[in-house]
Structure 1
Amino acid sequence: MGQARHRYFIFETAAGFCGIAWNDSGVTRFHLPAQSAAATERGLLRRSADALPGEPPPMVVAAIAAARRYFRGESVDFSDVNLDLGEQDPLFTAIYAATRALRWGETTTYGAIAKSLGTGPETARDVGQAMAKNPVPLIIPCHRVLAAGGKVGGFSAPGGADSKIRMLALEGHDLAPPPPAQATFGF
């Protein structure tokens, strides 16, 4: 049996248990909060089956500390976190770079990212696929990418679109549906 290429660590935040996996080159996976450490570990290992538990090196300790601050509602910049996303389609690489440039509280749309890459509107679907396959959500902040018209759109992390709404609320965006205009009809 060969050595594992990845190590991982499960840690608690104000929003639940997160997981992070890494190799010598950088962070390879990030799992957004789940209600239990076991659920986070299962989710992380589904995509990093060869990973073994490990003590995080300093670069990963810094990313963990930043994630904890983020889920406490502090403005955090993850741009200094080294990533190793392996071989990616060149389009996905460009999409991830554009998404990673989004800062705390800033949002955009799938279509705007496609346009920023100099591609046609049909590429918005590719942007959506890249977001769904993002191996390091939060570090590449796919939660800041919205559907057309500023609608929430999908979110493949634990909790789905509700998690996306909560994360954006931490950053000052209120995307919750408005209260009904009329609570009762009076009959």
Structure 2
Amino acid sequence: MTLRLGDIAPDFTQESTEGPIHFHQWAGSNWVVLFSHPADFTPVCTTELGYTAKLKDQFARRNVKALAVSVDPLDSHQRWVADIEETQDVKLNFPILADPDRKVATLYDMIHPNALANLTVRTVFVIDPDKKVRLTLTYPASTGRNFHEILRVIDSLQLTDEHKVATPANWQDGDEVVIVPSLTDADEIARRFPKGYRAVRPYLRLTPQPNR
């Protein structure tokens, strides 16, 4: 199946390095970053998993859980974890799903035969507390993911869910944001954005980030 933005992320039960994961139950009221890896003991994946572990506090501050998946079996994952911890100088602090039956890979359309015949491509899903898919990213096998971009998108999603704004190109937390065009009532604008705004065009109104 092809998952689109706004779809409910499929539920599943699968073994992991931290025991069985009943996905929706495990996710609870958290955001989730679910990301796939072509195989265990691969160099780029090793760096990605190590870096994700180092982002533990950044994820926690945003109420985010990380969950990796590879089609290799659990005993392979457990050996790989030792390699990750030694080579990346970190303690792995999130589960890796064992998906040898490709149940999760199939549910989330992570196998692209024209890229990798039997392995998962580097897909990222950001899933919100309502279990809706809010972001999908797919990288080629040769390119490691930019986790700072993933955090940036989560910051944007959480901000724009709470306020009637959007984030412009290259936005970083603390930058100006865009008042959504659908908001036209002057009194509501004044109430929502007491720091004021500047209208570059009638449809392009920039205001200081409202939660700062």
Q: What's the TM-score bracket when you normalise by the shorter of the two chains? A: under 0.3
Q: Which has the higher contact order (CA 8 A, sep 6+)?
A: 2
Q: Which has the higher strand share?
A: 2
Task: Find the structure with the greater CA-based Rg.
Answer: 2
Q: Tell me the TM-score normalized by structure 2.
A: 0.24
Greater percentage in helix: 1
TM-score by length of 1: 0.26
